[in-house]
Amino acid sequence: MIVNINKKILIVGLGLLGGSYARILKRYGFHISAITKEQSSIDYALKEGLIDEGSIELDERIIGEADIVIFALYPHIFIEWVEQNQFLLKSGALITDVTGVKCSIVYKVQEMLRPDVEFIAAHPMAGREVSGVENSTDNLFTGANYIVTPTAKNTPEAINTCMELGRLLGFSNVTTLSPEEHDEMIGFLSQLTHCIAITLMTCNDKENMEKFTGDSFRDLTRIARINDLMWSELFIENKTALLEQMNLFIDKFNELYHWIEKSAYELDIELSVLSNRELMFDSMNNKLKDKKVDFILFWDKDILLAKHLENLVFSIISFSVSDNLIGSYSYI
């Protein structure tokens, strides 16, 4: 174990991630302290044995004794904390974070930080749709990725310590990326997918859709239940990479749209594009029969909706997409 068991670890921000860090690291025998804004979070963590001590104040002793400080805070709050309170950190302390963007954080913090304190950034790629220390678990990071984003200012010792921390926490894949590589990657894998989920939830406002929702829609929109304050900040802080990924997605989506439109024209098919929600409500209001619909090209896995349409005596064609956009047809 690279991380000395005698080192004292302070967690600033005792929520879902901070609480899970505490829960796991305490099992190894580390002395764990916490500073957070809610006394109820401190009380819960003490009662459950997640921490040895904690405070809702800037406790100078707790901060000054910490060898490793983990900041589980929103990006702007983390920057403000370092700017205003770094004088409380002990000489030789190592600090790290959990923020989901790096370029706008790492260089700013490293620039302002005292030379006798080192900041090595990390991003635990894990979470849940709930928050708070009471929802923390000791298996939150199982199967997840942990990304360390070092710069030229980081020492090999700090990088190794941070990576070992990720392994102790139970992450399956511990790796390094530059802050720039991280933000480009996260713009696609995390932020774009959240934007798509939010769009799916807000693009149609018809009521009672939950009665007809299938697994595919639930899977695609599970992550739409987000912390809007935190994710808004992450989107803005990484706007360049995110907007680039959104434009790439829009281009591919339009390509798919026009391919369907062109194919329908070549087959002499009058094509109307409807969302699942519109399709359901049009079928309930007999609008599909009024439009004299001959068949429905169903590009989804919503079996309940497909069966509902089939029961209304519509010909249903399911469509699965391959990499080259050539479909295979099967009649339900």
**Tell me: the pLDDT tens digits for 6-40?**
999 999 999 999 999 999 999 999 999 999 999 99
pLDDT at 196 (0 to 100)? 85
Nearest alpha-carbon partner for 235 in 199, 201, 186, 202: 186
71: confidence class by pLDDT, cuts 50, 70, 90? very high
Residue 318: its H or E element: strand 315-320
| CATH 3.40.50.720 segments of the chain | 8-177
Task: Say whether 316 sits in a helix, a strand or coil.
Answer: strand
CATH number of 184-244: 1.10.3660.10
Query: d(Cα 228, Cα 245) in Å, to the nearest integer?
Result: 20
Q: Are 69 and 59 in contact (CB under 8 A)?
A: no
Residue span(s) of the chain under CATH 1.10.3660.10 come to 184-244
CA distance 33 to 13: 11
pLDDT at 127: 80
Compute the average pLDDT of residues 55-72.
97
* Residue 329 pLDDT grade (very low, low, confident, very high; cuts 50, 70, 90): very low
> What average pLDDT score do residues 164-180 get?
96
Q: Specify the pLDDT at position 325.
A: 34
Q: Which CATH number fits domain 8-177: 3.50.30.40, 3.30.499.10, 3.40.50.720, 2.10.10.90?
A: 3.40.50.720
**Amino acid at residue number 70:** I
Q: pLDDT band for position 149 (50/70/90)?
A: very high
How confident is the model at residue 79, as a pLDDT? 95
Render 15-35 in DSSP notation, one character per residue: SHHHHHHHHHHHHTT-EEEEE
262 burial level (CB within 10 Å; 0-12, 13-18, 19+): exposed
Burial state string for 277-298 with b = 16 or more CB within 10 A and e = fewer than 16: bebbbbbeeeebeeeebeebbb
pLDDT of residue 234: 77
